[in-house]
Structure 1
Amino acid sequence: MHKEGKKGTLMKVLRYIRPYMHYVILSLLFAALSVILTLYAPILLGEAIDCIVGKGNVDFGEIFLILEKTACVIIVTGIAQWLMNLCNNQITYGVVKDIRLKAFKKLENLPLSYVDSHASGDTISRIITDVEQFSDGLLMGFSQFFTGAVTILATLLFMLSIDVKISLVVVLITPLSFFVAGFIAKRTYMMFKKQSETRAKMTSLVNEMVGNQKVVQAFGYGRRASKRFDEINDTLKGYSLRAIFFSSITNPSTRFVNNLVYMGVGITGALSAITGAISVGQLSCFLTYANQYTKPFNEISGVVTELQNAFACAKRVFDFMEEEPETPDDADAVVLKEVEGNLSLCNVSFSYKKETPLLKDLNLEVKPGQKIAIVGPTGCGKTTLINLLMRFYDVNQGEIRMEGIDIRRLTRKSLRENYGMVLQETWLKSATIAENIAYGKPDATMEEIMVAAKEAHAHSFIMRMPEGYDTMISEEGGSLSQGQKQLLCIARVMLRLPPVLILDEATSSIDTRTEIQVQKAFEKLMEGRTSFIVAHRLSTIRTADRILVMKDGNIIEQGTHDELLSQGGFYKNLYESQFL
């Protein structure tokens, strides 16, 4: 993937800021108003000092007028700063909302190959943690840079209007502050980038351990998990300490330079006051400006830590958003309608990695209503074939046709709407049981949901739940057994009634008695529907119209149960290993 530095990341951030340019302009205007009024206050203070000529010779009337002006200036400055912060919040959280929305849409459009090859924790970290870190840095950056830039420029103009010679002292020492900040900033960026990457590894590990806690405890993996966590944690600590160390010395360094500026102004101003070039009040004003001028450098250097972290996190988010998306549907893609269940595979070859071929020159013709069983040893390509039928992956060579049309010419949505799928690995969402069953048909009535649950033999255990169909369950299923979770997934298909069924070890976690009942329901469901059944238990596929025996990515035998037994080949050996 193309690697870009901070400049490229900054340009991308600016593209997201563009829609909020009206807020940027308003923020700059309020910042300018706030700064100008803040800088006008020392002039008033200087005038007040000049009204105090000596003991018994103080112009109190003029001083009170100046104080009234100063009070008005302070009030308007406060309002301007408040409005500026409102604008900055609109920009920051608007940009973050847009980035997060686009990142989530990207997640929805990524090919399954990306999801299979990247840790889920890393992806979660990019969309949530990294965007949050970027948000904090961006907000602080806007708040400090807008006011800082305007303050520096306006202060210089005010100082030049009072005395050019003293102003030149300030201008000549200032570049040293930029040099120090820039020197340190270059070294902090890489540290924050590594910190962000290591934090993603930690998120990934924690996510993995929490999601599989039962397996971790059952196999005594806790100690090794802790060791892995300690290693990542130590690495993160190292990167974090180095990043914070480099960034934290920025502020003291720039403060040292700023004190040099103040000292230069003080000495030069005092000499000018002695010679009568400026008044004492103007000297007081100049010293205040020296502080005002150097203050933004202190603030900006303090923000460097956040900004370096923000850019490092932003780059990770943008890298994710620039991943190759799933191949889009063709502009003239066909919407599949009136599906009967005609499917064919013509010279299909596929591999997940080029160096490891899997399916080779596969051919298959399936007629409507046929029940096709797929058997074979682990890793022979059974689930891969299902992935290709659903177009989770595209074939490398050959083509798969549904109703005589290459599925790559169909819209994915219309293709997948015609499949019903029950996998060995169950999937539930954090919602009620009814919502989980109606996942593929959100507009289903409660009566339809209950009929589907009864067909799947899930109704009885659902009614024993505290709130029946309105019982909330988590993504992991909570207190539900593996078999109960599988029955809910079966109920989804019973509700949807698609023209093509895919059952990948659909009853592997169900007890024998319930399995027999569900098999009967499946037999009824499969009548008139094209069905693909992936099975390890060969007793469940005796009634299949055709059994495909796969080995090393090839269909080595096919026929009915009796035909394959009579051939005395690989299928017979598989069958006898289970029953004899």
Structure 2
Amino acid sequence: MQEENSKDIAFLNDDMSAEKAKDTKNTVKRLFKLLLNQKWKLITVIFFAIVSLIFTMTAPLIFSKAINTVVEGIKNVFVTGSFNIDFNIIKRLSVLLITIYVISSLSNYVQQYIMATVSQNLVLSIRRKISKKLTKLPLRYYDTHKKGEVLSRVSNDLEKLAETLQTGLMQFITAVITIIGSVILMFSISYVLALIAIVSIIMGIVVTLIVGKKSFNYFTNRQESLGVFNGQIEEYFTGQMVVKTFNLEDDLINTVEKSNNKLYLDEKKAQFITYAINPLIRLMNQMGYVLIAALGAVFVIQGKLSIGIIQAFFQYLDQASEPLTEAAYTLNSMQAAIASAERVFEILDEEEEKEDCLENKIISNPKGNIEFEDVRFGYDKNLLITGMNLNVKAGEKVAIVGPTGAGKTTLINLLMRFYEISHGEIKIDGVDITKLERSHLRSLFGMVLQDSWLFDGTIKENISYSKDRAEYSEVENAAKLAKIDHFIKTLPSGYGTVLNDEDSSVSQGQKQLLCIARAILANPSILILDEATSSVDTRTELEIQNAMDNLMKGRTSFIIAHRLSTIKNADKILVMDKGNIVEQGSHDELLNKNGLYSDIYNSQFVR
């Protein structure tokens, strides 16, 4: 809620500035630390991965026995002239192989099931942290970050992280274990053949590392481009009326086209680097295959190795090379997940609102006396408010006027501690607001903004949003005071009618009346009306004004207004300009001064 809520929709922004998170090592450490919260599940996953590996590694040796049995039978043809294959051995080995594969498959199923639980629990915990974080971030964060870009981080980036953890991490763990086991068994068969295989595997790893380093930048760019694109789409969707009013459709199309093209190019680079690595590694493997096949044939002829053992060696080579390919592909996918995680962690690392003071004082019987003592504040290094002093007595009706950007809304932001002051004190009933819990401080206020906000729910739920467990009669009475009860009862479901902030069946003025009813129901000690009647017609405005006058009796009220006709009867009018109060007094007193207030008033009423 920056100055006067005057932030325009950035229709023609060609890009969104987003810092590239480059601390991959730290991000991995943070993810690993979060995963350790489920260490017993991870240990279980690794245990079943090892079980599956043991049985998978045993299979080629059993195959080799079966093959050797057949080969021996074929050799007998040349010795005895007839086949002499022991099919009982083949039968036993077949049953054993089926049993091994069944156990291995069950182990894989358990791994995937537990890993899915681990990944979803991790993402759930991060979502919970983000939800809490978003409620603790200061208003400054929301004023300086586009909604679509933030939504992209908490939705697209988290989904990418969940997807990779659920499938990719398990594949990576299994691949690593399989490669280690296969290499050990290959060395147990033949050092020479194993060394050739290791060379081809190392070449594949080198290619993986080189390409993986390159792919990280591409995936980071891809996620950032996606955030830009989502941010623009969200802006344009919510600002369609403005786009059409100013005939900005062509500009909008051009802007989105640029973002779309950038996203396309970044996506293409990221996907190309991901899929290009597969054939490169396969090429390294095939070169190793040729050398091993040639040398293996020599060893068989020399009688150093049997055909079954050579076949087992090739199976182990497959078991090492295929997981390497998968690991390379998964590693690239994990680069995208790390880029996503970094963007999510950026939100979690944002500076939160300052902690409430340990004193946690409570104003048990609030009256509404307000004091500003030498208050200074600026949205950046340059001060907007310099040495503001103000004294408002309980029950006074204070109007705040001034040109756009004068600091009217800023004053309210400071009063409710949406922003922290740089110097001075703001007191309510003699208590420094920094000594109060924010929740208690804000419970003293009722606010109606210029922009109405309704959520997806019934009219009763929207009005009672300001008061927990409000009775139906209380909601109805508040609606009557806000002059909206009659309209509500003309709706098919009355107070049970479901609506949302984008509901076109309810006019902007009627939405504002519902927000006013919400403030009335809260029955606060201090009222803040920020152009609360700007969206209603003159007749309705007069009715609301009468209701507000009754509501404001005995309550301190701040009214931000551009239409000075609505604040003539204010007890005190503050005229602000360039962040400071330049005039204050009653309507007649200010007119007689012939100052800024007089100029503003005459510009509206004198022709």
| TM-score, normalised via structure 1 length | 0.97
Give the distance between the partners of 1:105 and 1:351, measured in 2 at CA: 27
Match of 1:418 in 2: 444
Q: How much identity, in percent, do the aligned residues show?
A: 39
**Letter in structure 2 aligned against 1:435:** E
Residues 335 and 274 of structure 1, relative CA distance in 2, 3 Å threshold: farther
Q: Secondary structure at the match of 1:58?
A: coil
Query: For the structure 1 residues 570 and 169, does the alpha-carbon distance in structure 2 shift closer, same or farther, using more than 3 Å as the test?
Result: closer
The DSSP-based 3-state class of the residue aligned with 1:501 is strand
For the residue of structure 2 that corresponds to 1:333, the secondary structure is coil
1:389 aligned to 2:407? no
Q: Decide which of 168, 190, 198 is 2:195's aligned counterpart.
A: 168
For the pair 1:311 / 2:329, whether they are aligned, the reply is no
CA distance in structure 1 between the partners assigned to 2:251 and 2:363 by the alignment: 50
- Residue 340 of structure 1 aligns with which residue? 367
> What is residue 227 of structure 2 aligned with on the other side?
200
Shift of 1:276: 1.1
Q: CA offsets, 1:510-537, max 9 Å, x none?
A: 1111111111111111111011111111
Give me the whole-angstrom Cα distance separating, in 2, the residues matched to 1:3 and 1:209: 27
Matches of 2:202 and 2:359, distance apart in 1: 60
Amino acid at match of 2:231: S
- Contact residue 172 and residue 330 of structure 2 kept, 8 A: no
Select the residue among 395, 412, 427 that pairs with 1:401.
427
Matches for 1:94-493 after TM superposition, within 5 Å: 94-355=121-382, 357-493=383-519
| Gap runs ≥5 in structure 2 | 1-18, 78-82
Write the deviation string for residues 158-217 of structure 1: whole angstroms up to 9, x where unpaired: 223333332232223321111011111111111111111111011000001111212211
**Equivalent pair of 2:447/2:529 in contact (CA under 8 Å):** yes
Deviations along 1:305-344, whole A, 9 cap, x unmatched? 3112111111111112111111121233323322110110
Aligned to 2:31: 13
Moved more, 414-423 or 295-304: 295-304
1:29 aligns with 2:52: no
Amino acid at match of 1:550: M
Q: 2:106 is matched by which residue type in structure 1? A: I
Partner residue, 1:525: 551
Are the structure 2 counterparts of residues 437 and 365 from structure 1 closer, same or farther at C-alpha, using a change threshold of 3 Å? same
Q: Give 1:284 deviation, angstroms.
A: 1.3
- 1:499 matched to 2:517? The reply is no
SS of structure 2 residue aligned to 1:249: helix
The residue correspondences of 1:559-578 to structure 2 (distance < 5 A) are 559-578=585-604
Further displaced range: 309-318 or 257-266: 257-266
Contact persistence 1:342–1:402 (CA under 8 A):
yes
In the alignment, residue 28 of structure 2 is paired with which amino acid?
L
Query: Greater shift after overlay, 177-186 or 265-274?
Result: 265-274
Write the deviation string for residues 92-117 of structure 1: whole angstroms up to 9, x where unpaired: 11111111221222111111111101
Alignment of 1:4-83 (within 5 A): 4-52=22-70, 53=72, 54=74, 55=77, 56-83=83-110
Separation in 1, partners of 2:154, 2:20: 20
**Is the contact between residue 368 and residue 528 of structure 1 (CA under 8 Å) also seen in structure 2?**
yes
Over the aligned positions, Cα root-mean-square deviation in angstroms equals: 1.5
> What residue identity is the alignment partner of 2:257?
D
Cα contact 2:375–2:423 (8 A) shared by 1: yes
Comparing 211-220 with 84-93, which one deviates more in the overlay? 211-220
Residue identity in the other structure for 1:418:
L
Shift of 1:21: 1.0
Task: Name the CA distance, whole Å, in 2 between partners of 1:394 and 1:2.
Answer: 29
Contact 2:527 2:555 in 1 (8 A): yes
Q: Distance in 1 between matches of 2:605 and 2:276?
A: 74
Work out whether residues 262 and 291 of structure 1, in 8 Å CA contact, stay in contact via their aligned partners in 2.
Answer: no
Letter in 2 for 1:540: T
* 4+ long deviations beyond 3 Å: 1-4
Deviations 1:253-300 (A, max 9, x none): 111111223223322322211111121111111111111111101111
Other-structure match for 1:553: 579
CA shift, 1:81, in A, is: 0.5
Question: How far apart, in 1, do the equivalents of 2:501 and 2:555 lie?
Answer: 31
Secondary structure class of the residue paired with 2:389: strand
Q: Is the 8 A contact 1:423 1:506 kept in 2?
A: yes
Would the aligned equivalents of 1:265 and 1:286 in 2 still touch at CA under 8 Å? no
Deviates more, 1:258-267 or 1:449-458: 258-267
Alpha-carbon distance, 1:443 to partner? 0.8
Please tell me whether the aligned partners of residues 244 and 305 of structure 1 are also in contact (alpha carbons under 8 angstroms): no
Q: Which residue of 1 aligns with 2:114?
A: 87
**Cα distance between partner residues in 1 of 2:560 and 2:163:** 50
Residue aligned with 1:82, SS: helix
Pairwise CA distance, 1:3: 5.1
Would the alpha carbon gap of residues 348 and 97 (structure 1) be closer, same or farther in structure 2, given more than 3 Å must change? same
After superposition, the Cα gap between the structure-2 partners of 1:225 and 1:140, relative to the gap in structure 1 and judged at 3 Å, is: same
Q: Secondary structure at the match of 1:180?
A: helix
Letter in 1 for 2:432: D
SS at match of 1:344: strand
CA deviation map 1:536-576 (0-9, x unaligned): 11111121111111122221221112222233332222222
Q: 1:436 to 1:341 in 2, by over 3 A?
A: same
What's the offset of the Cα at 1:410?
Answer: 1.1
Report the secondary structure of 1:550's partner residue: strand
Deviations 1:480-522 (A, max 9, x none): 1110010010000111100000011111111111111111111
Structure 1 residue 2: Cα displacement: 9.9
Q: Distance in 2 between matches of 1:206 and 1:29?
A: 46
Secondary structure of the residue aligned to 1:363 is: strand
Distance in 1 separating the partners of 2:225 and 2:21: 18
Gap regions ≥5 residues in structure 1: none
Q: Which amino acid aligns with 1:527?
A: K
C-alpha spacing 1:24/1:222, structure 2 compared with 1 (3 Å): same
Which residue type is aligned with residue 570 of structure 1? L
1:424 CA displacement: 0.9
2:21–2:339: 8 Å Cα contact kept in structure 1? Answer: no
What SS does structure 2 have at the residue aligned with 1:558?
strand
In the alignment of these two chains, the number of paired residues is 579
Deviations along 1:235-269, one digit per CA (max 9) or x if unpaired, are 11111122222222111111111122322332232
